[in-house]
Amino acid sequence: MKLVIGLALVSLAFGSTFFPTEKDEVDLVSTSQKDQASGRIAVPPPNNLRKIFSDVSTYFIRNVITSLLASAPIRNGGIVNAAPILNPVASPIVNTGTAGALVGGGASQVFFSPVRINIDQASQLYVPPGTDGRIIVLLKNDGVGDFFLLSGGDDKNFFIQFDYAQIQLGPGQTLAVPGRIRVPHYANNVVSTLTIIVQRRTDNAISRRQVYIRTKSEPGEKWAPWCTIRTVTRCDSYLDESICASRYWNMRAEIQDTEAGLLSVSIKPDGRFLGEDFIIGTNESIAVEQSVSCCTTGVDITAVDVRGNTATCRADQYSIYLSSGDVAAITLGVILLILLLVIIILAICRCCRRRKERSIKTAPIPRSKKDQA
């Protein structure tokens, strides 16, 4: 395995030495001023020899990465080991609950991928048979600025390629990269799993995300995803501004879209969270967990499905959230209380009726005037 990795790195170094560098082949692509982010994207070179080498080396490296990902275990429920957590929980966590148990072991045990991979709402994740589709990948760099290799493939061979195989991102920059999908006419009502891989050039750190591609017409449902807050802890004695920044409270929510499929989940204030690497387009329930600074009273969770329907829920440390067990216990208690009241009322009515019957039987019989004489 080490020999294979070494050959991949040697081929990459050979290409960068004997062919033009990326600095001579990039165009500036700016994004919206709102995000104040820009990215540099590598243009496919006109040199045929360079193009052949680039295609071969990219194909070789992608196969190496895919084999490594298939054989190596993935830690922390699918979160790829790469850059360290951006919001480390190095300080004590107060009121450790369900969410806190996940990060309470120390920040060094939790790692997030250096590049966030999301899908734009304009993408076509429902592609009817015999047609072509377009997928737009949103890449946000949460690590150091660098060049990145971008590749993708699915288990049904519907995905063709991305428009660019190499991109350049600075810290905090976001870039949209289109890709093409082609579904044959015989593939009806099939679900294909597309795997997107982004590799950082300097240290080979890998980011990965999976997407469901469905070969049928997009459903017309208008129901938004549902969001349920399951667990929220409180800071209590750590609200003072002098210490709140070093203390955290934890929240856990469950999100699901049973129709079109879940597209994205975001949290404001912005931050990384456990569960952000769910399979895009899934109909299964996903768990979202985050540790939040005690200086922040609450966070807003926004879920968007493939159709663009949006749902927002708020996790607040001062609100009361009941679990399904608590709701069941309260409901059972109310039912038992109602039954007890009904039994008491019936018992009282019966006692009153018995007293009335007894008073009628024991009452003296009035005598006539003749008997009185």
99 is a domain residue: no
312 is a domain residue: yes
317 is a domain residue: yes
Instruction: Identify the CATH number of the domain in which residue 303 sits.
Output: 2.60.40
| Per-residue pLDDT reduced to its tens digit, 263-300 | 999 999 878 899 999 999 999 999 999 999 999 989 99
> What is the per-residue DSSP string for 97-135?
-HHHHHHTT-GGG-B--SEEEEE-TTS--B--TT-EEEE
Residue 87 pLDDT greater than 80, yes or no: no
| Per-residue pLDDT reduced to its tens digit, 290-312 | 999 999 989 999 999 999 999 99
Dihedral over alpha carbons 124, 130, 131, 135 (to 10 degrees): 40
316 is a domain residue: yes
pLDDT of 271 reads: 83
Which domain range does residue 28 map to?
A: 24-43+126-214
Asked if residue 320 and residue 261 are part of one domain, the reply reads yes
Domain count, the chain: 2
Residue 230 pLDDT greater than 50, yes or no: yes
Examine the fold and report which residue of 159, 189, 214 is the final residue of a domain before the chain moves on.
214
Residue 251 pLDDT greater than 70, yes or no: yes
CA distances to 335, 343, 349, 350 from 346, in Å: 17, 5, 5, 6
Asked if residue 267 and residue 192 are part of one domain, the reply reads no
| Per-residue pLDDT reduced to its tens digit, 134-187 | 999 999 999 999 999 999 999 999 999 999 999 999 999 999 999 999 999 999
Asked if residue 147 and residue 275 are part of one domain, the reply reads no
Asked if residue 178 and residue 231 are part of one domain, the reply reads no
Asked if residue 165 and residue 29 are part of one domain, the reply reads yes
Q: Please calculate the CA angle 201-66-195 and round it to the nearest 5 degrees.
A: 95
* Alpha carbon 152 to its chain's center: 20
Examine the fold and report which residue of 182, 214, 246 is the final residue of a domain before the chain moves on.
214
Instruction: Identify the CATH number of the domain in which residue 135 sits.
Output: 2.60.40.2310
CA distances to 150, 169, 196, 324 from 144, in Å: 17, 8, 20, 43
What sections of the chain are H helices per DSSP?
Answer: 2-18, 48-71, 98-103, 324-362, 369-372
pLDDT of 32 reads: 39
Asked if residue 231 and residue 196 are part of one domain, the reply reads no
114 is a domain residue: no
